């Protein structure tokens, strides 16, 4: 998880949020699973948007998959 061949990466938290968002979990459910606050989930999401140059969660998940940053198995 997290490192594509081009050197792009996402943190464990960022990738964790994107993987769970892809499964349709809410922010609270993601926070519970990762054992972090909802604020942390929001920050991980915001950082992933910045890194992936997207503006919304579906686009972030799609771009992370396209770049090979997420393992959805």
Interval 59-73: pLDDT, tens: 999 999 999 998 777
Cα separation, 41 vs 46, in Å, equals 9
Pure H helices in the chain: 12-22, 27-34, 38-52, 57-66
C-alpha neighbours within 13 Å on the C-beta side of residue 11? 14
Q: 16-38: per-residue pLDDT in tens?
A: 999 999 999 999 999 999 999 99
* pLDDT value of position 2: 53
Across all residues in the chain, what is the average pLDDT?
90
Asked which of 1-10, 11-20, 21-30 is least confident by mean pLDDT, the reply is 1-10
Contact indicator for 38, 65 with CB cutoff of 8 Å: no
């Amino acid at each position: 998880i997290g490192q594509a061949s081009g050197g792009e990466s996402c943190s464990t938290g960022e990738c964790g949020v994107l993987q769970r968002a892809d499964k349709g979990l809410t922010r609270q459910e993601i926070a519970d699973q990762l054992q972090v606050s909802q604020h942390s989930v929001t920050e991980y999401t915001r950082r992933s948007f910045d890194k992936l140059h997207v503006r919304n969660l579906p686009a972030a998940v799609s771009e992370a998959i396209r770049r090979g940053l997420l393992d959805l198995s």
